[in-house]
Amino acid sequence: MTSTAVAIAADHAGYALKEELKAEIGALGLEVLDLGTDGPQSVDYADFGNALAQALKDGRAARGVLVCGTGIGISIAANRHRHIRAAVCTDTTAARLARQHNDANVLALGARLVGVEVAKDCLRAFLTTSFEGGRHARRIEKLN
């Protein structure tokens, strides 16, 4: 895997959507680093949020995608890591602005809140939008 890879992880509630999103990442010409889970059996979302945070820290991926039932729990787990800026998004505007204004490096989605097509739209917006910098950079620096 390279730093251009996109890491993706989910708990049991997000497993099916994760599988759909992997194909979308590949269609954008990006490498996929699948960190699990590997089926619908009950697992703990924190384990997968932490695994994704470690993959970004290690440089195995440049950005990440997390999926659980609401996107909230798994994003809280990931955001406990200093280098992670995970944003829960339910539409493309939020996904685009999370990148432009917040330099989010992780997209969190709720499989019970957004449909597959909306999730794919959010993913495309997130992965194709750059951070604007400028006045936003000053604000991001304060998070460090």
Count of CB atoms within 10 A of residue 98's CB?
25
User: What is the pLDDT averaged over residues 100-125?
Assistant: 98
pLDDT score at 98: 98
Give the start-to-end residue ranges of the domains of the chain: 6-143
| For residue 119, pLDDT beyond 80 | yes
Output the CA–CA distances (angstroms, integers) from residue 7 to 75, 82, 83, 132, in the order listed.
14, 17, 15, 23
Please determine, for residue 6, whether its predicted confidence score (pLDDT) is greater than 80.
yes
- Identify the active-site residue in 12, 68, 89, 122: 68
Catalytic residue among 12, 81, 89, 101: 101
Q: Write out the two tokens for 98.
A: 């999370």
- What integer best gives the mean pLDDT of the chain? 95
Closest CA relative to residue 49, chosen from 23, 16, 82, 73: 73
What are the residues facing 131 on neighbouring strands? none
Backbone φ and ψ of 30, nearest 5°: -105, 150
101 is catalytic: yes
pLDDT at 108: 99
pLDDT of residue 107: 99
Q: Is the pLDDT of residue 120 over 80?
A: yes
136 is catalytic: no
Report helix angle 116-128 to 92-102, nearest 10: 20
Each residue's pLDDT tens digit, 53-105: 999 999 999 999 999 999 999 999 999 999 999 999 999 999 999 999 999 99
Q: Determine the CATH number of domain 6-143.
A: 3.40.1400.10
Token duo for residue 4: 């251009």
pLDDT digits (tens, 9 = 90+) for 32-41: 999 999 999 9
